Structure 1
């Protein structure tokens, strides 16, 4: 499948988190062009590689090793190809092999399966990366190549919609009562699996059906939240602007000092303010550059940088005037991450993994729902007595 040519429904499964929480957003953002970033194109390339490897694993006769090699060779011609994609898609395949072993017998596997979601979402459809069915269980596995935000499988509306579509398509052939949803996000080491009953999935189906009926007509109330992140209307959305201005300029605070509970609440409420201002600035700059006026603002040339017209010729002149060549160059090793990228993840681990140690990261503030263990500067009794 050509992943770049995938169609998108008005109420897309990938955007379900957004239009279920803010029902008018789908119709509103349909007025904006659906642009593609370089990161998205990179993800598309990685998905095509992952699909080729999965086809070879599941349909070895039809998609032989030779065919896989030729396919990978073709993908490597893409300007966005990175050697690390090979290792990360291998991680995806390792996860699929482990999941396949959880079934009592070899499961039925569907790859890049287009699913009809019309029963629940008007005009809805989606494409699941991998579906496994067997022994009363159906599993939806989704490959995420992004590394910005960890994606959880638990109550993930995109995967739950895929599961509903798979139920519609396969339930008459394979009866099942258990549903497993899995996310594989190898670039940040995030593998997430959540299990629910078919009854719970169908209950979600009724919930999403009600929200989709409203969203398809652009009805309901605007409800800004973290789901605004990928909305194409996020910069101009009036509801988001009014909510963030209200949060940013709250002044009715009587106590001189905030309590920790209040600080936690403000951090939660104000999380989108900085993102909103950045989105607003980027939109205003684009408007100014396009020749349109934004009251009180204009686009100007930023601080410039100098560059050589002909560095080699310039160095020849400097060296000829008496400056040693060694003074014009510095020898500098690549970073560990850069070396791993050049060598390849698996080869790096095999060849020099014993020479790498992971140092603890700098303390950072995250939401309580984050799966990493909390740390503190408080000394425990064990540490004192040891």
Structure 2
């Protein structure tokens, strides 16, 4: 891999906010999480199902996936249906519309050696669409961003699409879509071609140049979440330790504006502290000694050595060791299929009210009324 190719669209949000993090992360060990492995499997399944809907000849990948379950199948099927709906809309406006799945795009015009793989591209005259599938449930992802207008990763993909197809298609704007089924979220953001190219020239290219040279200023923020050096980064530590200096009084002495200020930083402090603890444990397991801490064995619960032997022993004693449970909605949908599920059980399902949560006002969910506490109790 060339030095330049270490800049990838998937890391663009972090690097554009904190340019020197690029070279630091390039030198750090990469330990792919099980969530990343699950996401890779989900993407492979999504690509197959979209291709199947389009009539492409492809082999079902399920038997070769390292991770697969009913929820993943349902999510991928929903994604394929969504892509086909969007393709249908594009076809209605532009009969020559085309779909590309897992298509490599190149943005080396702005970032030397940089490219990426777009999950789905729907090419059409006028507005061309790029759809990105996110299987993760822990972190909500939006097609828009306060800093750049659109999601930087998708903006990079869209630049690659313009490089490949602008001129073949009369593209005037790009529509960026994040499909995140496990958070029941589909977000989109449309940007004019001229605005996207201006961002590429004035923001992406110069910032990437700084990053590839190891220059620029460190900056802590939400973009630290997926940084490989987040646990040991001095700038992030300084940022959070400064926030922790807030002059806390006893809770019953805090005024409303003080509580508001604490709520603004408490999640970041907690996340940072957990990252440091996780890093320190990993280092201690390798042999590093910390002056005031040691590694001990945590609590555990007893497990059966063999469920089959346990069942036989209990049945022989005259007892029934089995419990029978109704399939959950996701598993039942997979068993029956969406259409049959709605036909048989559509009237037998409901969605209960979610538990009240205190979130920033930038959250897109509608605000509950003042009487929310009493309503929720009822």
Q: TM-score, normalised by structure 1?
A: 0.84
Report the Cα distance in structure 1 between the residues aligned to 2:314 and 2:42, rounded to whole angstroms.
Answer: 46
Over 3 Å counting, the alpha-carbon distance change for 1:332 and 1:137 in structure 2 is: same
Structure 1 counterpart of 2:299: 303
Tell me the alpha carbon deviations over residues 71-114 of structure 1, each in whole angstroms, 9 at most, x when there is no partner: 22x42343411123332222112222222233312312222111
Matched, 1:83 2:70: yes
Q: 1:142–1:159: 8 Å Cα contact kept in structure 2?
A: yes
Aligned residue for 1:205?
Answer: 200
What whole-Å deviation, never above 9, does each CA across 1:129-180 have from its counterpart, x for those lacking one?
1112222221111111112222111210000111111111111322211111
Task: Work out whether residues 243 and 265 of structure 2, in 8 Å CA contact, stay in contact via their aligned partners in 1.
Answer: yes
Structure 1 residue 123: deviation in Å?
2.4
Which residue of structure 2 lines up, in the alignment, with residue 141 of structure 1?
131
| One of 347, 352, 356 as aligned partner of 2:345 | 352
Mapping 1:19-98, distance limit 5 Å: 19-58=15-54, 60=55, 63-64=56-57, 67=58, 71-72=59-60, 74-98=61-85
For residue 289 of structure 1, the aligned residue among 285, 290, 296 is: 285
Match of 2:99 among 88, 91, 109: 109
Evaluate the alpha carbon distance shift between residue 302 and residue 99 of structure 1 in structure 2; reply closer, same or farther with a 3 A threshold.
same
Could you give the per-residue CA deviations for residues 15-56 of structure 1, whole angstroms, max 9, x where no partner exists? 111111111111111122222222211211111111122223
Task: Flag the 1:331–1:57 CA change in 2: closer, same or farther, 3 A.
Answer: closer
TM-score by length of 2: 0.86
Contact between 2:5 and 2:112, CA under 8 Å: does it hold in 1? no
Report the counterpart of residue 4 of structure 1 in structure 2. Answer: none
1:236/1:280 contact within 8 Å kept: yes
The Cα shift of 1:11 comes to: 1.5
Counterparts of 1:318 and 1:218 in 2: how far apart (Å)?
65
Alignment of 1:85-234 (within 5 A): 85-103=72-90, 104-106=93-95, 107-154=97-144, 155-206=150-201, 207-234=203-230
The CA distance in 1 between the partners of 2:310 and 2:62, in whole Å, is: 39
- Whether the 8 Å CA contact 2:74–2:330 is kept in 1: the answer is no
d(CA) in 1 for partners of 2:66, 2:193: 43
| 3-state SS of paired residue (1:372) | coil
Secondary structure of 2:117's counterpart equals: strand
**Do 2:71 and 2:330's aligned partners in 1 also have CA atoms closer than 8 Å?**
no
Q: Which residue of 2 aligns with 1:343?
A: 335
From 277, 280, 296, the counterpart of 2:276: 280
What is aligned with 1:17?
13
1:325 is aligned to 319
Instruction: Report the 3-state secondary structure (helix = DSSP H, G, I; strand = E; otherwise coil) of the residue aligned with 2:163.
Output: helix
For 1:264 and 1:300, the matched residues in 2 are separated by: 38
Local SS of the residue matching 1:265: helix
Change (3 A) 1:211 1:81: same
**Alpha-carbon distance in 2 for matches of 1:308, 1:367:** 45
In the alignment, structure 2 segments of 5+ residues that lack a partner are 145-149
CA–CA separation in structure 2 for the residues paired with 1:318 and 1:293: 48
Q: Which residue of 1 aligns with 2:147?
A: none
Aligned 8 A contact 2:70 2:330 in 1: no
Cα RMSD after superposing both structures: 2.8
Q: Secondary structure of the equivalent of 2:10?
A: coil
Taking the aligned partners of 2:87 and 2:304, their CA distance within structure 1 comes to: 56
Whole-Å separation in 1 of the counterparts to 2:308 and 2:45? 40
Conservation of the 8 A alpha-carbon contact between 1:84 and 1:345: no
- What CA distance in whole angstroms lies between the structure 1 residues aligned with 2:8 and 2:341? 39
Q: C-alpha separation between the residues in 1 aligned to 2:159 and 2:331? A: 43
In the alignment, the residues of structure 2 paired with residue 17 and residue 113 of structure 1 have an alpha-carbon distance, to the nearest angstrom, of 21
CA deviation vs aligned residue, 1:282-323 (integer Å, no higher than 9, x gap): 111111111111231111111243334467767877888xx7
Query: Structure 1 288/98 Cα, relative in aligned 2: closer, same or farther at 3 Å?
Result: same
